[in-house]
Amino acid sequence: MEVISFRTPGLGDQSYLLVHEGRGVLVDPQRDVGRFLDVAAERDVELRLVLETHLHNDYVSGGAQAASRTGAELVLPAAAATAYPYTPAFHLEDIPGGGGLTIRPLHTPGHTPEHTSYLVLVDGEPAAVFSGGSLLVSAAGRPDLLGPERARTLARLQYGSLHRLAALPGEVDLFPTHGEGSFCGTAGVGRHTSTIADEHRDNPLLALPDAETFADELLTEPMPIPAFYAHVGPVNLLGAPAMPDGRPPEIPVEEIPRDARVVDIRPRAVQAAGFLPGSTGVAIGDDFGSWVGWLVPYGEAIVLVAEPGQDVSEALTQLARVGIDDVRGVVRDLGRYASARFELLDLTAFLGRMPGARVLDVRMPSEWRADPLPGAVERFLPDLVSQGLPGRLRGERQVPVVCGSGRRAAIAATILTCHGLHPVVLDGAGAAQVAAALATREGVY
């Protein structure tokens, strides 16, 4: 038996292809199913089963498309009750995989009510478990994505589900879907797979004494929930079409539709030198799709701004993964319309601009607590869109902006210019470096 992992860093997720004696089982595939099916074809693997552990909130599933294209059997948790047909996975009702391979569903509610993990048996012996958003590497799937009203009940259920999985033999390999970088999990440790024995040793959540203590631990300081999660869940319930075909046309800036949002995917140094006023700058990167899904109102049409010759295929793929298909065009030359600007400065130059200025820290609340920047105005990046400009910044002209590297600060800068501000972005360093530098300088901040 071989398990091939497909990691999507920007979403912090993994999909898997299990191969056994020429037969394949695909687990939690994302919408761009070609990358999974190509590997199966290269290895001459006959795809028999497509397994979904739960109705995902963070990406549009490709399970139904993968099953349709290959003739494989689509298996979902029995209680998923999707609008499209599937084979229901009932707790402990084995599913034959052929050639001595058996898939045993384990109902593991908590991340979602219907959540089901899949234990893999080879010739009757447990070998691996696909745990989806239940037991993760040194962590657990979040129980609060379906709203605060159900969060504590789901947290208690998650406690039982983790211990159900932890009761498996120690040598069983653990393959979770969510991992480091995912907003569906509680934490990350840099490893993406594990074993049951390793989780007994390393997972602090398994050491908690009871379900109430466990719920307290998971719910006391929850992470933010990306805005697009509320829309992707229903898409997966009703069923999504296949990935969009073709490329959007290249259009001049004068032909940008009035109802479209402009997203600038150029490098942030290029954006800083001049971008279209009112556009949202998200330089292409692993997390591009997530940030656009979080910052741009869901369902609105999009026009991309790219450099001449810049490949937009990665941007289109990431957008489609989170259900954004309506891309009307690509602008390659802004010309005289690139009138909005911000500054990018290294740490030394940035510190020179700080005396008397209010620094805006756009990191997550958990980052503020871990590495506070005393005196900074704290506003998590997406909240600049949902809540607007912090009152303490109104009336300011020049605003220094920090995050962990400069990426989020640069995105924030394009938003701040809409408020008539002149952002100065710390590039290549973070708030922790600013705090450390200021600690050695008196009277600067």
> DSSP class of residue 209?
S
- List phi, psi (to 5°) of 250: -80, 130
Give the pLDDT of residue 185. 83
**Once rounded to an integer, what is the mean pLDDT over residues 175-195?**
86
Q: Is the pLDDT of residue 221 over 60?
A: yes
Angle, to 10 degrees, between the axis of helix 288-295 and the axis of helix 313-321? 60
Each residue's pLDDT tens digit, 80-103: 999 999 999 999 999 999 899 999
Tell me the pLDDT band of 127, cut-offs 50, 70 and 90: very high
Q: 210 CB contacts (<8 Å, ≥6 apart)?
A: 159
Using CB atoms within 10 A of its CB, is residue 328 exposed (0-12), middle (13-18) or buried (19+)?
middle
**Once rounded to an integer, what is the mean pLDDT over residues 247-264?**
96
**Once rounded to an integer, what is the mean pLDDT over residues 197-221?**
96
CA 363 vs. chain centroid, Å, equals: 16
Q: For residue 327, what are the CA distances in angstroms to 257, 263, 372? A: 11, 10, 39
Give the pLDDT of residue 443. 39
Q: Is the pLDDT of residue 395 over 80?
A: no
Give CA–CA dist 377/63, Å, rounded: 44
> What type of residue is 162?
L
Each residue's pLDDT tens digit, 259-312: 999 999 999 999 999 999 999 999 999 999 999 999 999 999 999 999 999 999
Give the pLDDT of residue 188. 64
Q: What is the overall mean pLDDT for the chain?
A: 94
> DSSP class of residue 392?
G
Give the pLDDT of residue 189. 65
Each residue's pLDDT tens digit, 330-354: 999 999 999 999 999 999 999 888 7
Give the pLDDT of residue 445. 39
Give the pLDDT of residue 444. 41
- List phi, psi (to 5°) of 309: 85, -10
Each residue's pLDDT tens digit, 425-441: 999 999 889 988 877 75
Tell me the pLDDT band of 27, cut-offs 50, 70 and 90: very high
**Once rounded to an integer, what is the mean pLDDT over residues 409-415?**
98
What does pTM read for this prediction? Answer: 0.94
Give the pLDDT of residue 438. 78
Give the pLDDT of residue 442. 47
Burial readout 386-399 (b: 16 or more C-beta within 10 A, e: otherwise): eeebbeebeebeeb
